[in-house]
Structure 1
Amino acid sequence: MLVKVCMRRKIKEGNLRNVFVLIRKIRAMAMNQQGYISGETLVDYNNPQGTLVIGTWQSMEDWMNWKENQLRKEIEVQLEELLDEPTEYEVFVYSKHHLKITGDSSLGST
């Protein structure tokens, strides 16, 4: 089941360039990980200090393996030092998959 991982970050003033260097480094490493499909980085239109990185993984297990990867964690520590607050993580699945997992059919076939 595909998962989309949303990572919201609020970057400290003056650190945009350094943050994007680290994000690119993490993405380059992720490309070699089992289950990685794609990633994209978005910047808040009204506040360039706000970013949203969306990663697509083949499974929750693949994502969790990558999230716990020691090299990734080391870069993440560097990244967190450049942020106003900790990264927020949210994981999403397509609604039809969630309905199969929960058995809730009240949403129909969305």
Structure 2
Amino acid sequence: MAVTVLIKRKVVPENESLLIELYREMRGSALNQEGYIGAETLKRVDQTGEFLIVSKWRHIDDWSKWLVSKERRAYQKRIDTLTNAETKFEIYVH
């Protein structure tokens, strides 16, 4: 069953461009992951520095493998240096 993962992050305003570049890199890496369908990045217009990533996966297991992968965790570590709040994940089924 396909899943959509909503990933919410708050970034320090001066780090927005760096965060967007990391998203592009991470998305490129995710393309090589089994079950990855695609993603889009949305910037909230009424709250400075808030981003929503809508990531789609063929199955929850595919997302789960990516979530704990060494590669994704390395990206998360880099992202954490740019953000001022914990990343939040919400998973929905289709």
| 2:55 paired with 1:55 | yes
Distance 1:11 1:40 in 2: 17
5+ residue gaps in structure 2?
Answer: none
- Higher mean Cα deviation, 26-35 or 41-50? 41-50
Amino acid at match of 1:76: Q
Instruction: Identify the residue that residue 15 of structure 2 maps to in structure 1.
Output: 15
d(CA) in 2 for partners of 1:75 and 1:53?
Answer: 14
- Larger-gyration structure (1/2): 1
TM-score by length of 2: 0.96
Q: Percent identity?
A: 30
Q: Determine the structure 1 residue equivalent to 2:69.
A: 69
How big is the shift at 1:62? Answer: 0.1
Give the alignment's TM-score, normalised by structure 1: 0.82
User: How many residue pairs end up in the alignment?
Assistant: 94
- CA–CA separation in structure 2 for the residues paired with 1:61 and 1:19: 26
Q: 1:10 deviation in Å?
A: 0.5
The corresponding residue for 2:89 is 89
Give the CA RMSD over aligned residues: 0.8
Structure 2 residue matching 1:22: 3-state secondary structure: helix
In the TM superposition, structure 1's runs of 4+ consecutive aligned residues that sit over 3 Å from their partners are none
Distance 2:23 2:48 in 1: 15
Of structures 1 and 2, the one with the larger relative CO (CA 8 A, separation 6+) is 2
